Amino acid sequence: MIEEHPSELRADIVRYFPGRSLNEFHRNESGAGTMTWLELWEFYLGLPYDSMTKSAMAGDHGHRRWTESDYLLREILALLQFQSRIAWIAGQLQGPAPDLPPWPHPDLRLPEQIEADRELAVARAERARKFHEAMKPGSQNTEYLNKLAAVRAEHQRLAAERQRSPGGEDPAPPDN
């Protein structure tokens, strides 16, 4: 806890236990701190659910863990937004309905997961771009067109096998 999240623990001790500091745990002139391991552990146990330390240990890298109250308030906001849109649509309020964006949920993914998702999105966008470029009339991207033709031929072959199989059952998948 101290090694993994020292800044969060330091901030929480100062915030929730005024007059105390994580520096008391480390050392004084004699080399021993005035705060014991037991006292530090009790401080940790006394931290609220949404403290920076407990949020970081639970994997919330935004350092803002949502409590049940936060989720409840988000649902109340969503309900009020829904009722407002219904009132506008029903004609009880004048003018166009406003754009009411939903309150975002906290992102609890690890930084590595966020980066992997970003890379996956970039790869998907690149595949979509290649597909659209290859499908344009007069496209010179024969490599991608050949891949598309091979996939299309395999799809047609499997569809033909499915029609020929007795009883309309799917044939056994190929051993790849």
pLDDT tens-digit map of 121-161: 999 999 888 888 777 777 676 777 788 888 889 999 999 99
Determine, yes or no, domain membership for 64: no
Q: Is 43 contained in some domain?
A: yes
Question: Is there a domain that residue 72 lies in?
Answer: no
Look at residues 107, 1, 113 and name the one whose alpha carbon lies nearest to residue 54: 1
Specify the pLDDT at position 148: 80
Does residue 82 lie within any of the structural domains? Answer: no
What is the tally of structural domains in the chain? Answer: 2
Q: Is residue 93 part of a domain?
A: no
CB 33 within 8 A of CB 24: yes
The model's pTM: 0.41
- Domain membership of residue 118 as a residue range: 111-168
Identify whether 10 is part of a domain: yes
Rg (the chain; Cα; Å): 29
